[in-house]
Amino acid sequence: MKRIVPLLLVACFFFAVRPAARAATPSSCDELRVVSGNNKFVPSAVAFHARATDPSGTIQSYRWFFGDGSQEDSAAPDITHNFTVSGSFTAKLFIKDAAGVWKSSSSCQTIFSLLNNPLESHKSGCSNVFVLGDNTVPAGTTVNFLVTGYENKSGIKEYSLDLGSGQVLKNSAGTFSQKFDAPGTYTARGSVRDSKNNWVSSDSCWTSLYVTGSPIIVQPATGTPTWITVTGILSGIAVFYLLIRKSCQNA
C-alpha cells in the first residue's frame, strides 16, 4: 500500500496540472461548383472551383473527376476541362490533406449539363465508380457506391454494378448499397445502359474495396478463445482512470 500511495499522488498531480484536451478539427472537402461552361454547346470548356479546409496545414493536391471518364490532379483549387461530348455529367473531387489522406464528401460532387450539337454522333460511356466513404472497412459494413456515366441523346436508362462472383446490382439511379461480411479485396465494376439499350463500360469505371477481418483471437492453453479488442483495452484503461480519480478526490 505504501508503494501505491506515491503513484497515486503522482497520478493526482498529473490530472490536476494537465491541460484540457482539445479535439482536433479534421480536414474536409467543402465545395465543388461549376464556375462557367454549364448549359453550353459542345465543344465547351467548363471551369470548376473547389473549397477545402485543413486546420493542420495546407491542402496538398486536388483530384478532379470530370464525369466523362477523365481525371486530373492539380495543386490549385481551380481547373478547366474541355468537353467534346454533350449530356449530363457528375463531377466529383477528392482532396489530399496535410497528412496525406485523400477525402471527399457529398458537397464535393456536382451535376451539370452540356447541350447537344446537331452534328454530334451518338456517344455514351460509364465514367467512374466511387465508394461513398472509406475504401477500407471492417467485415460486416454496408458500403455505398456511386456509378457515373453519360449519354448524349436521351440519357442513361440504367446503371449496373458488378461486385464479382456473379453478384450484379442494377437500378436507374446509379447509387447502390451492399453489405460485405467476408474479408477480402473486392473489385466493383460499373456499366450503363444507353438509349440504344447497349450496355457500355470503360477502363475508368471500376474501383477497389478492402474488407478487413474480425478482431484478433488469442487461443490460451485451456482452449477457450479470448477476444482481444480495442474496446476491451479502452474499457480497462477507463476503469483504472476512474479509480485514480476517485483516490485523488479522497486524498
**Rounded to whole angstroms, how far apart are CA atoms 176 and 146?**
6
The pLDDT of residue 55 is: 96
What nine digits make up the cell of 103? 477525402
Assess whether the region 27-120 and the region 122-214 belong to the same CATH fold.
yes
Domain range annotation of the chain: 27-120, 122-214, 221-251
Residue 238 pLDDT greater than 90, yes or no = no
Q: What is the band of 134 on the pLDDT scale with cuts at 50, 70, 90?
A: very high
Q: Right CATH number for 122-214 from 2.60.40.10, 3.30.1490.20, 3.40.47.10, 3.40.50.300? A: 2.60.40.10
Query: In the predicted model, is pLDDT for residue 250 greater than 80?
Result: no
Q: DSSP for the chain? A: -TTHHHHHHHHHHHHHHSPPP-PPPPPEEEEEEEEE-TT-BSSEEEEEEEEEE-TTS---EEEEE-SSS-EEEESSSEEEEEE-S-EEEEEEEEEE-TTS-EE--GGGEEEEEEBPPTTPPP-EEEEEEEESS-SEEETTEEEEEEEEEEESSS---EEEEE-STT-EEEESSSEEEEEE-S-EEEEEEEEEE-TTS-EE--TTSEEEEEEE-PPEEE--TTS--EEE-HHHHHHHHHHHHHHHHHHHHH-
Give the 3-state secondary structure of 122-150: CCEEEEEEEECCCCEEECCEEEEEEEEEE
- Is the pLDDT at 179 greater than 90? The verdict is yes
Question: pLDDT class for 120, splitting at 50, 70, 90?
Answer: very high
Average pLDDT over residues 144-160: 97
pTM score: 0.76
Average pLDDT over the chain, rounded to whole? Answer: 84
Q: How many angstroms separate the CA atoms of 14 and 34, rounded?
A: 53
Domain 27-120 is classified in which CATH homologous superfamily? Answer: Immunoglobulins (2.60.40.10)
Q: How confident is the model at residue 25 (pLDDT cuts 50, 70, 90)?
A: confident
Confidence of residue 152 (pLDDT cuts 50, 70, 90): very high
Give residue 23's pLDDT band: very low, low, confident or very high (50, 70, 90). low
